[in-house]
Amino acid sequence: MTIEILLFDGFDDLDAFGPFEVLRTAGLDTRFVTAEPADTVTSSGGARVIPHGVLGDPDLLIVPGGGWNDRSGPGAYAEAQRGVIPAKLREREGRIASVCTGAMLLAAAGLLTGRRAITHHSAIEDLREAGADVVEGARYVDEGDILTSAGVSAGIDMALHLVGDQAATVAREIEWDEARPAGSLR
């Protein structure tokens, strides 16, 4: 299985790197790509990433969020307005997943109309207005060809879901134990 994570200026760091860590730990071919050629991409946190290339035809494309609620700089909102990423998403025939407000880019492409989906809690009304059937409280929603996840850490849950039988092994390797509160003793 080949997986591409679509980066854009202003993407949220953990939206991309959380799933990347899970998928690479599971041994899956996972690459960072852009919609158009770019030497570097800058995250919302200021990390500069050198993409592996331009969007190809992966088995799974993951779209991170970031910058939806701010709307004043680079990020998902600016990309939705620019229209390049939504146009690329409409052209895809393979499986697509989103993390956090990356769902709003899927919605801008018209891919979530009438479909069950989730996004970051602060953008739920925007997602609902875009025509999605919002599943409030869900960490992720798997509709088969489209998966959406809530806020940043939910992208890790979604990625663990994607690795199937390897999920427990990967979760142990990355020390992901959502049932145990931070600082508790075993």
* pLDDT digit string (tens) for the chain, length 186 residues: 999 999 999 999 999 999 999 999 999 999 999 999 999 999 999 999 999 999 999 999 999 999 999 888 999 999 999 999 999 999 998 999 999 999 999 999 999 999 999 999 999 999 999 999 999 999 999 999 999 999 889 999 999 999 999 999 999 999 997 654 444 344
Q: Is residue 17 situated within a structural domain? A: yes
Q: Is residue 182 situated within a structural domain? A: no
Q: Is residue 184 situated within a structural domain? A: no
Q: Is residue 183 situated within a structural domain? A: no
pLDDT of residue 179: 52
Are 159 and 18 in contact, with CB atoms under 8 Å apart?
yes
Are 149 and 96 in contact, with CB atoms under 8 Å apart?
no
What is the extent of the structural domain holding 21? 2-173
CATH number assigned to the domain comprising residue 126 = 3.40.50.880
Q: Is residue 178 situated within a structural domain? A: no
Nearest of 20, 19, 30 to residue 52 by alpha carbon = 30
Q: Is residue 186 situated within a structural domain? A: no
pLDDT of residue 178: 60
Sheet of strand 60-63, all strands in order from the earlier edge strand to the far edge? 53-54, 29-34, 2-6, 60-63, 95-99, 146-149, 140-142
Q: What count of Cα atoms within 13 Å lies in the side-chain half-sphere of residue 99?
A: 29
Nearest of 42, 60, 61 to residue 51 by alpha carbon = 42
